[in-house]
Amino acid sequence: MLIVLIDGYDFTIIGIALEVGGGFLLAKGYLKQFAPMETAATYWGTNPFAIRSAIVAHHEAVAGFGWLFLGLLISAYATVRAVYSGQQGSIQSSLHIIAVAGTGGLALLFLTMWVIRLLSRRNYVPWIVANQREIFDRAFYAVAHDGETRDEVAAGTGLFPHIRAERLEHARERLNRVGKLLDLSRRRREDDLAFARRLSTKYFPDVQV
């Protein structure tokens, strides 16, 4: 019934809205910077931020292509319907649907981006957890033992204050990067050990310190 009430020019506007949304998703996926400059350093020969961005970009590109293809189909259907039904008037008579198509398009776009994020996380989280486990293990142990390594704790050797401070700073940076990769932000006034334990509970339950 709704399809009968919407004429060919209405479908043209809906098709254009879908094509614009598809173009946005494609542009977002492949024109954005793959990794922030502050996190572009490689880790064990691999840049996890770039790999994560590539996974997200792949899903955005697939969704963008789907939007464009659907928009083209609807636009083609609108043209055929307008011609074969002998529709009178012009697209100006259908301008009232712009607000409806725009609002519906934005809602569908946000839903699509939510689905993209969900599917992307299912792909990149297991890889990141496996790739960053050793880095997280060392950082967690450092903040739990005041900068010392397992060998140093076993040997009972101490550390010079400046070395201890440097190691703790490096461990803090690693924890922040791992948290950023896994979309887990540090809470306000959360110390390094509490943040590491929260990361461990959610993503690295097998890491023991």
Distance CA 104, CA 92 (A): 20
Distance CA 153, CA 145 (A): 8
- Do residue 146 and residue 103 come from a single domain? no
Range(s) of the domain holding residue 194: 131-202
- Do residue 141 and residue 48 come from a single domain? no
Count of domains in the chain? 2
- Do residue 29 and residue 113 come from a single domain? yes
Q: Taking the model in full, what pTM does it have?
A: 0.72
Cα diameter, the chain: 90
Q: Tell me which of 78, 110, 127 is where a domain ends.
A: 127
Q: Tell me which of 127, 152, 173 is where a domain ends.
A: 127
Place of tokens 């899903």: 59
Q: Tell me which of 111, 127, 143 is where a domain ends.
A: 127
Q: Is the pLDDT of residue 93 over 70?
A: no
- Token pair recorded at residue 169: 């700073």
pLDDT at 173: 95
Give residue 11's pLDDT band: very low, low, confident or very high (50, 70, 90): low
The partner residues of 46 in beta bridges, in order of sequence, read 43
